[in-house]
Structure 1
């Protein structure tokens, strides 16, 4: 589902720095993928905080400013692989630190202040490794990933490319 010319397909995410991105790639490459699986390209590995969908580009200035929320850096540790019945392969954090839950909640409030509705389903932080991955062999273990989260980002998805529109520290 691509964005219309006067809309932007947006999401808020934890956007990894290069050393973390390299560790995420190593996790992705530790899986054995079945034919037809589509591993996520290294430059797209991230943790979604909120998916906004297609939004009018005229609202971008409001969004750029409106998603600046109070934020305390926190540590996120990954180390658990999972394969969903839907065929999505991902890795999950070993725990959900309070800083992550606080950031997610503050961004939910920011969404509502901007007239948007946060997703109703429970938040499950993860990094998607591949889609259409039913039958993948889950690695017994991957590299320990200790991610010091010091920023988050508003990201646009257009024609298969992700563009960070603004980082918030």
Structure 2
């Protein structure tokens, strides 16, 4: 039996979803690609165990969040990705301006707060699932969600985050 049997199929099925989550976590498409590649390399090294007895999806999601948090701890996030939107004098529609404002606001959250927002509201995970993926308590998820939403409301009051 090939030790990577099923890995290619798993990647084909989940890569786009992982890329979307990684992009929301990092705010940069190139960093998102690096994050997913790093995580999938680690998943591949454990694939025989994961495919046989584990839950590869949960392991991969948890590794994605953990790797992102690790990167954020090592370097200032503004160093990792230049998230300032350059003023080029271009006209943007309202939806584009709202996305840019949200992107800048998300970049100002702490790593845990951003991860909680992405997991809870983008991926529609429960508090329990989010806590498992982040390796923390449900209380931490609740408090980080509260602080993150409060900060987002202060940074972009026009958006009415609820």
TM-score by length of 2: 0.26
- Higher relative contact order structure (alpha carbons within 8 Å, sequence separation ≥ 6): 1
* Larger of the two Rg values belongs to structure: 2
TM-score by length of 1: 0.25
Larger strand share, 1 or 2: 1
Larger helix share, 1 or 2: 2
